[in-house]
């Protein structure tokens, strides 16, 4: 039995390296690269494992990069179920510029999934979801995938499962509704979902509460960036502030937050404590370099420092 099941339909290999300075035209000599398994749901599954939970990552695998990603997942000891697809698994690139300490992130679009491959994803999650406490549908959709892909999948999931959706744009808008337990929009995404102008924390809080009242989701964990998260439920809204920590890389912080939330929910924690744990997980991730994710000892320490 798994605590958390994740689905990643647009996974990637995250390649990170550093260079003295980013300039046009010249051939830039990078330091030795680092390779990590990536994509929303895969990152969430990695974090669940780091935090002592048991996860299953369902993902699409194509070509030699898909084979390499499978080896990376094995190296990270992530239990997974790969769905074979015809397209090549994508690679994303993160470059750290030493001179300015700026980070440049290049995300590739991925390749389209056939109708049969889309159906295989739904079947794989449906067959494995019966005993999972929390199901996370996370990450972008590949090109040409119907924007209601997640919605159609949610309609097939067990009603007792707590479903977390972490995507953006039209895919997020089409996913919300009955069966969704939690979403994690930022200010812009929340404004798009509600049609409200959001220019301060009060308006963000009101918009998040309205989304809950509308039945779109039971919980909104609205990101304030470095300032924290507003948690909205049927009982109202509260704010969780992020601890102040030295920042090395923001890559994977959002996925780590979802991983922390999912882990805590699977243990029976309250929504408030689960989001606190998620904030601690996301904050711990920005303390690590490149595409590395959080360390459990950092998460536990930061969680204790966040006001309950």
What is the three-state SS of 152-169? HHHCCCCCCCEEEEECCH
Residue 60 lies in a domain: yes
Residue 129 lies in a domain: yes
How many domains does the structure of the chain reveal?
1
Range of the domain at 201: 41-85+112-305
For the cut 90, the answer to whether the pLDDT of residue 160 exceeds it is no
Residue 176 lies in a domain: yes
pLDDT digits (tens, 9 = 90+) for 170-210: 999 999 998 999 999 988 999 888 888 888 899 999 999 99
Q: The domain spanning residue 301 has which CATH number?
A: 3.40.1190.20
Residue 284 lies in a domain: yes
Residue 130 lies in a domain: yes
Residue 92 lies in a domain: no
Sheet (strand 90-97) strand order:
34-38, 12-19, 90-97, 102-106
pTM value is 0.93
> How far apart (Å, rounded) are the C-alpha atoms in residues 83 and 91?
18
Q: Could you give the 3-state DSSP secondary structure of residue 129?
A: coil
> pLDDT grade, residue 214 (50/70/90)?
very high
pLDDT at 53: 95
Active site residue 155: no
pLDDT at 230: 95
pLDDT at 206: 92
Residue 281 lies in a domain: yes
pLDDT digits (tens, 9 = 90+) for 119-143: 999 999 988 888 788 999 999 999 9
For the cut 90, the answer to whether the pLDDT of residue 33 exceeds it is yes
For the cut 80, the answer to whether the pLDDT of residue 110 exceeds it is yes
Residue 98 lies in a domain: no
Mean pLDDT of 246-275: 92
Nearest to 299 by CA among 13, 24, 46: 46
Catalytically annotated residue among 244, 255, 292, 298: 255
């Amino acid at each position: 039995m798994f605590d958390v099941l994740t689905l990643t339909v647009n996974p990637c290999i995250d390649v990170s390296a550093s260079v003295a300075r980013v300039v046009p035209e010249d051939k830039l000599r990078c330091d030795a690269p680092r390779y990590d398994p990536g994509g929303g749901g895969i990152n969430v599954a990695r974090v669940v494992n780091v935090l002592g939970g048991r996860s299953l990552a369902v993902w699409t695998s194509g070509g030699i990069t898909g084979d390499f990603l499978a080896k990376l997942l094995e190296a990270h000891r992530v239990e997974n179920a790969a769905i074979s697809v015809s397209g090549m698994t994508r690679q994303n690139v993160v470059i750290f510029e030493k001179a300015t300490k700026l980070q440049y992130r290049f995300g590739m679009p991925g390749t389209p999934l056939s109708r049969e491959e889309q159906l295989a994803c739904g079947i794989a999650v449906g067959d494995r979801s019966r005993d999972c406490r929390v199901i996370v549908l996370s990450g972008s959709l590949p090109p040409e995938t119907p924007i209601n892909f997640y919605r159609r999948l949610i309609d097939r999931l067990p009603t007792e499962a707590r479903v977390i959706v972490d995507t953006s744009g039209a895919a997020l808008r089409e996913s919300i509704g009955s069966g969704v337990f939690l979403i994690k929009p930022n200010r812009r995404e929340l404004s798009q979902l509600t049609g409200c102008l959001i220019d301060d924390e009060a308006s963000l809080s009101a918009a998040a509460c309205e989304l809950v009242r509308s039945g779109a989701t039971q919980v909104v964990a609205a990101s304030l960036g470095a300032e924290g998260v507003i948690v909205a439920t049927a009982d109202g809204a509260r704010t969780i502030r992020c601890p102040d920590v030295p920042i090395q890389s923001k890559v994977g912080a959002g996925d780590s937050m979802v991983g922390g939330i999912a882990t805590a929910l699977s243990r029976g924690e309250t929504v408030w404590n689960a989001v606190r744990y998620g904030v601690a997980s996301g904050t711990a991730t920005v303390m690590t370099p490149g595409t590395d994710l959080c360390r459990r000892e950092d998460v536990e320490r930061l969680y204790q420092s966040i006001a309950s």
